[in-house]
Amino acid sequence: MDVDGTSTGVAQVDGVRLHYTRAGSGPLVVLLHGWPQTARCWQPVLGELARRYTVVAPDLRGYGRSDKPVTGYDKRRMAADMAGLVESLGFAHASVVGHDRGARVAHRWALDRPEQVERIVLLDIVPTREMLRRLDSTIAAGYWHWFFHLQPDLPERLVGPDVRGYLEYFFERWTYNRHALPDEAVDAYVAAFSRPGALRAGFDDYRATEADTALDDADFAEGRLLTVPVLALWGAVGLPAKLPTLDIWRDHSARPEQVTGAEIPECGHFIAEEAPQALLAHLRDFLPKPD
């Protein structure tokens, strides 16, 4: 749904230019996309959310129209990007909705800056450390691309000649409602990852896994857990549905009673596009009520 007053902008944070879409007014809600997408993935829900909130949907470092530096893809750095973006827009705090890689950024952002993040919504993931700790044949088969993307240079060489073919593999395999990603959406994502540096940057996001896991393991060992309210949502068709996802997120919270979640029926990985009305219903119940 479109909404009047939608605009785009660029903020420079620590030398990196971050592109974002902004709409609406009221309390701030930041929407963080995943791989292999951009902020475009929020189009089915952005307009409705903007009726009650200021909505900001950035392209993460390395994605879309944002800069693609050769460093800084650990989630602490990427979360600091988002913190700087929020501050540059004049906001003291935000609710954060993250999908896929963006949910991992949201998780780290809430751990590092709980005073800035009011609450988080985490779409179709479990914590990085838990995914690797539970590695078995099912996890390995479901997340094979992680280990491929971790390799230096190889994925760029193999994927580069056929970006469309590679991305369409995931858009088909990870969806239940395949019609929810129309040709124009897929075209936009293929164009985004065909830009100079885009493939490498997306793979660098995955190549930061060792640094991300080390941070997560250290926090968990020290009892440094989430303190903000958490809503975890996952599609019924996908790997998180095969895991005790809600229990896992409660184990990663200092206040497990503040962690709620649900499975989205007849939905795959791309929740905002496959099941926008279901997502909006959960967000209405969870996000802070505007004055």
SS (H, E, C) the chain: CCCCCCEEEEEEECCEEEEEEEECCCCEEEEECCCCCCHHHHHHHHHHHCCCCEEEEECCCCCCCCCCCCCCCCHHHHHHHHHHHHHHCCCCCEEEEEECHHHHHHHHHHHHCCCCEEEEEEECCCCHHHHHHCCCHHHHHHCHHHHHHCCCCHHHHHHHHHHHHHHHHHHHHCCCCHHHCCHHHHHHHHHHHCCCCHHHHHHHHHHCHHHHHHHHHHHHHCCCCECCCEEEEEECCCHHHHCCHHHHHHHCECCHHHEEEEEECCCCCCHHHHCHHHHHHHHHHHCCCCC
- Classify residue 256: in a domain, yes or no: yes
- Classify residue 167: in a domain, yes or no: yes
- Classify residue 291: in a domain, yes or no: no
Domain span at residue 168 reads 7-286
pLDDT at 2 over 60: no
- Classify residue 59: in a domain, yes or no: yes
- What is the per-residue pLDDT for 1? 38
Active centre residues (catalytic): 100, 269
Q: Could you tell me the CATH number of the domain that includes residue 106? A: 3.40.50.1820
- Classify residue 209: in a domain, yes or no: yes
pLDDT tens digits along 3-50: 557 999 999 999 999 999 999 999 999 999 999 999 999 999 999 999
Residue type, 138: T
pLDDT tens digits along 96-145: 999 999 999 999 999 999 999 999 999 999 999 999 999 899 899 999 99
Peptide bond just before 36 cis, omega within 30 deg: yes
- Classify residue 54: in a domain, yes or no: yes
- Classify residue 267: in a domain, yes or no: yes
Report the domain count for the chain: 1
- Classify residue 146: in a domain, yes or no: yes
- What is the per-residue pLDDT for 5? 79
pLDDT tens digits along 218-275: 999 999 999 999 999 999 999 999 999 999 999 999 999 999 999 999 999 999 999 9
